[in-house]
Amino acid sequence: MDVGKYLGLLALMLLSLLALYSSPVEACSCMPSHPQTHFCNADYVVIIRVMRKSLRLVQDNVAYKVEVKKSYKMNEAGHKLLKHGRIVTPNSDAMCGINLDIGKLYVIAGRGPYLNSCSYVKEYLKMSVVERRGFAGAYRKGCKCSVQPCFGQSCLSEHQSATSCKWSPFAKCETDYSACIPSHYRTPEGIISKCHWRRTPAYKKCMSDP
């Protein structure tokens, strides 16, 4: 067989296998994201109370009946997804599903029809005050800025653009106590805007004693 045709056939077979077996993996193959990124990219951001868990599986997914206590963000897609008070997630951890405890309050930033381990899901009582304020409005102010994941100390010290903030997934201070927001400066060339980490009292305390 011609080598080119053989390689093409082999590539086609590999793609077919990936398409067959990769769906559960793709569902939760994601880069770490700052809570602000979750907020800005979400179809809906809500506080929900979990009422019950459905025992009936639909295509390997499980549904939770929830009560929406407060809505921080809701586009048309989000409204359609939540209009029946139901959240759907894969049935197992192996398929990137999430587990919610009945009766507890959660903040959820969802995108698309399913929640998975890439989604922002956090018990309300375990959120910092700054996180709660972020979802209540501070993160919205920063949606014109992007939070860029950064790995390694050298990358954090490199120059960053005016439209983004660098963020390490291991940086507790920026994750729990700050938001990336724009500030406006007057210069001889006119007013410019630059994104930076908001220096809240909790953030400054964390930075002084990380």
Residue 11 has pLDDT above 60, yes or no: no
What is the rounded distance in angstroms from the CA atom of residue 73 to the CA atom of residue 79? 10
Determine the pLDDT at residue 138.
92
Binding region for Zn(2+):
28
Q: Which amino acid is at 25?
A: V
Higher pLDDT, 16 or 194: 194
Binding region:
28
Indicate the domain borders of the chain. Answer: 37-140, 144-208
Beta bridge partners of 183: 194
Q: How many CB atoms lie within 10 A of CB 59?
A: 7
Question: What is the topology classification, in CATH, of domain 37-140?
Answer: OB fold (Dihydrolipoamide Acetyltransferase, E2P) (2.40.50)
pTM (2 decimals)?
0.79
What is the rounded distance in angstroms from the CA atom of residue 71 to the CA atom of residue 84? 15
Higher pLDDT, 189 or 75: 75
Mean of all residue pLDDT scores within the chain: 83
Q: How confident is the model at residue 12 (pLDDT cuts 50, 70, 90)?
A: very low
Determine the pLDDT at residue 205.
93
Query: Which of the given ranges, 9-18, 52-61, 118-127, has the highest pLDDT on average?
Result: 118-127
Judge contact between 173 and 135, C-beta under 8 A: no
Query: What pLDDT, in 10s, does the model give residues 77-112?
Result: 999 989 989 999 988 777 888 999 999 999 999 998
Determine the pLDDT at residue 1.
45
Q: How confident is the model at residue 210 (pLDDT cuts 50, 70, 90)?
A: low
Determine the pLDDT at residue 67.
96
